[in-house]
Structure 1
Amino acid sequence: MTAQIVSALPIPFSADGAIEWDTFDALLTRVSPHVHAALVAGTTGEFPALDDDERQEAFFRACRVLGAERVIAHIGHASLRQVVRVGRAAAALGITRMATLTPYYLPADDTAVIEFYRGVTSALPGIEHYVYLFPERTGIVVSPAAFHEIMALPGVRGAKLSGAATDLLVEYIAELQPGQELYSGDDSTLPTVLREGGTGVVSGVSAAYPETFGRLAAALDDDVDGADAVSLQATVQLLVALTGPSIIRLKAAVSGNVPGGWDSRMSMAAIDDTLHGELLDMAARNA
């Protein structure tokens, strides 16, 4: 299996909070030649701040630029009812791969999480589903035993791990069914993920530096321990360390090569002018 880069795309907002759709189109066009797919309206896309019709517009535009087969629509929501509504609308666009965050905000045990995904997969037949685990954002830690049951549900193609879930990478990989995929949300660990039997990374940082991530994936396909792969992996680790800690940092870096409004709707810690300049310089040097 080739190393897979799925770019987790940020959404460009103007200062008044409106989405700049032309800027989003430009980002899609820029990443398209370098990544295998895009995750749309995920955490990096500030999905809790998007209206459902805005999520559908983002899905539509991603399909138009990338092709529906390269779009993974994040349909996570606060309730199963909402998840299914968003998923059916995404399916109407021809999207066949969807990711769903675990339940969040209110506590849920393993049984509740398993039944949640049973409801998602049964309500959206014909869709290839990715289970999205992010304990810090949801309050839900899915045990490897529960993960095993979820992976056995019809239609589940794989999983995406973020935050502390990546600490259980090896344990989760051991519970995959034949042919299933596992992605890490830790952008800096692609070689490790591949060595452990995973598929690739879902990378927000790749939205700012798609060329570098694309070159790394190609180098790993040729020789995971080759000189080019080692050198590119070192560069990626530097990029992730500088850009990865926040969406604000990512948007600053993206703006270096995709001009437009890169404000955020959600409240996050700002960065100073010095860091902003470093991010722009890094984007220019890794274009």
Structure 2
Amino acid sequence: MSSLSLVPRKGILAALWLPTDVHGNLLARELAANLAFLKRHRVHGVLALGSTGEFPQFDLEQRKRALATVAELAAPLPVIANVSDIRPQAVAELGRFAARLGLPAIAVMTPGFYPSTQEDALAHFLHAADAAQLPTFLYNFPELTGTRINVETVAAFADRARMAGIKQSGHEFAYHEELIQLGRAKDFPVFSGSDTRLPEVFALGVEGCIGGLVNIAPDLMVHLYEVCHDHTGGEISPAFERLREIGRIIDRLTFPLNVAAGMEARGLDPGEPKAIVSPRSRALYAEIVAELQRKFAEWQLEPQRTS
């Protein structure tokens, strides 16, 4: 069976949060509980070490250990390894490591920090795909990387590499339409990071979602996928309104710490913050946890089992 046949082409994938201790070490027991929660609610796969996973906070060896741990604990779910880095050597090394783990695909963003031309971004993506020898997702999140992946660059990559798909994140919602049109022509799926707009993205023709809110409300998101994408019958409401309410509440805090607050409210242990957090943000975090706990109790959403 080819590796491309194992790559998820649709579904709800968790942009996986990685719980760590105060020293930045991965907490395997807490991660296992988080993944068990996702599996119980029938998510279709995970993206490891993406922006929600705070990959820039880890050094290269920590990222390798995290990938290996996620691959073990997430099985049998497919795991996409985000190998994005400003350093081409690190991208190549992570991609080769993902291949040795037997993961089905990698994902790669533009390098970040320094600006990239479209030609340089394409060369960076091809370098990643060649090193890993795995199907590759492009990962567009210009608000974080500083460089948009233009549709011509996506097309050029699809013509020259095994393109697994693209994840479209950020504020440019209308860009989904161009990417979907190109994906139909080049035979690759488009995944969205627009967690709170699932009925809209599925109506456009998006095949799935890779999102941070999956860590908090996989049940709501899988339900919306089944109703809006698979047309299994059922109501969009109240799941859609509840998901938007979760998004509204957590967006008072910066990403991705807001994901941790939502997880804690759901009964999951997100570990310690990986970055310095101000007293004001800690207070806001506690307010969000308390508010969401009340909401989840009101909605009778099942909490994570702690035993």
Length-normalised TM-score, structure 2: 0.84
* Alignment-mate amino acid for residue 117 of structure 1: F
Query: What displacement does 1:255 show?
Result: 1.9
Please tell me whether residue 286 in structure 1 is matched to residue 293 in structure 2.
Answer: no
Give a deviation string over 1:126-146, Cα, whole Å, max 9, x none.
x11100111111110222222
Q: Which residue of 2 aligns with 1:58?
A: 66
Q: Which residue of 1 aligns with 2:86?
A: 78
- Pair 1:258–1:84, CA change in 2 (3 A): farther
Give a deviation string over 1:190-219, Cα, whole Å, max 9, x none.
222222221111111110112222222222
Please tell me whether residue 144 in structure 1 is matched to residue 151 in structure 2.
Answer: yes
Alignment of 1:231-246 (within 5 A): 231-244=238-251, 246=255
2: CA distance, partners of 1:56 / 1:31:
22
Give a deviation string over 1:223-249, Cα, whole Å, max 9, x none.
38x551243222222222223553222
Number of matched residues? 285
Query: What displacement does 1:98 show?
Result: 1.1
- Pair 1:5–1:258, CA change in 2 (3 A): same
Q: Which residue of 2 aligns with 1:98?
A: 106
- Pair 1:227–1:28, CA change in 2 (3 A): closer
Q: Is the 8 A contact 1:15 1:261 kept in 2?
A: no
2: CA distance, partners of 1:191 / 1:160:
17
Give a deviation string over 1:12-58, Cα, whole Å, max 9, x none.
12344433221111111111232101111111111000122222222
Q: Aligned with 1:92: secondary structure?
A: helix
Please tell me whether residue 254 in structure 1 is matched to residue 241 in structure 2.
Answer: no
- Pair 1:279–1:121, CA change in 2 (3 A): same
Q: Is the 8 A contact 2:263 2:270 kept in 1?
A: no
1: CA distance, partners of 2:237 / 2:205:
19
Query: What displacement does 1:261 show?
Result: 5.2
Please tell me whether residue 18 in structure 1 is matched to residue 18 in structure 2.
Answer: no
2: CA distance, partners of 1:112 / 1:40:
25
Q: Which residue of 2 aligns with 1:265?
A: 274
Q: Which residue of 2 aligns with 1:120?
A: 128
- Pair 1:238–1:260, CA change in 2 (3 A): closer
Please tell me whether residue 164 in structure 1 is matched to residue 179 in structure 2.
Answer: no
Give a deviation string over 1:40-79, Cα, whole Å, max 9, x none.
1111111000122222222222222332651111111112
Q: Aligned with 1:164: secondary structure?
A: coil
2: CA distance, partners of 1:259 / 1:239:
16
- Pair 1:87–1:58, CA change in 2 (3 A): same
Give a deviation string over 1:90-119, Cα, whole Å, max 9, x none.
111110211111121111111111111121
- Pair 1:165–1:7, CA change in 2 (3 A): same
2: CA distance, partners of 1:264 / 1:25:
18
- Pair 1:155–1:222, CA change in 2 (3 A): closer
Q: Aligned with 1:6: secondary structure?
A: strand
- Pair 1:153–1:68, CA change in 2 (3 A): farther
Gaps of 5+ in 2: 1-7, 303-307
Q: Aligned with 1:160: secondary structure?
A: strand
- Pair 1:263–1:219, CA change in 2 (3 A): same
- Pair 1:54–1:60, CA change in 2 (3 A): same
Q: Which residue of 2 aligns with 1:5?
A: 12
1: CA distance, partners of 2:162 / 2:268:
39
2: CA distance, partners of 1:151 / 1:190:
25
What is the aligned counterpart of 1:211 among 189, 209, 219?
Answer: 219
Please tell me whether residue 130 in structure 1 is matched to residue 137 in structure 2.
Answer: yes
- Pair 1:281–1:108, CA change in 2 (3 A): same
2: CA distance, partners of 1:69 / 1:178:
26
1: CA distance, partners of 2:268 / 2:114:
39
Q: Aligned-pair RMSD on alpha carbons? A: 2.3
Q: Is the 8 A contact 1:62 1:68 kept in 2?
A: no
Moved more, 109-118 or 6-15: 6-15
Q: Aligned with 2:21: secondary structure?
A: coil
- Pair 1:247–1:282, CA change in 2 (3 A): farther
